[in-house]
Amino acid sequence: MRKVAIILGSDSDLPTLRPAFDTLRGLGVEFEAHICSAHRTPDEAAAIASSARDKGFGVIIAAAGKAAHLAGALAARTTLPVIGVPLKASELDGLDALLSTVQMPSGIPVATVAIGGAGNAAILAAQILAVDDSQLAARLDQARADMHAGVLAKDSQLQQELKGTESNG
Q: How many CA atoms lie within 13 A of 54 on its CB side?
A: 6
The answer to whether the CB of 7 falls within 8 A of the CB of 20 is no
Closest to 32 in 3D by CA, of 44, 21, 47, 45: 21
C-alpha Rg value of the chain to the nearest Å: 19
Total-model pTM? 0.93
74-120: per-residue pLDDT in tens?
A: 999 999 999 999 999 989 999 999 999 999 999 999 999 999 999 99
The answer to whether the CB of 81 falls within 8 A of the CB of 54 is no
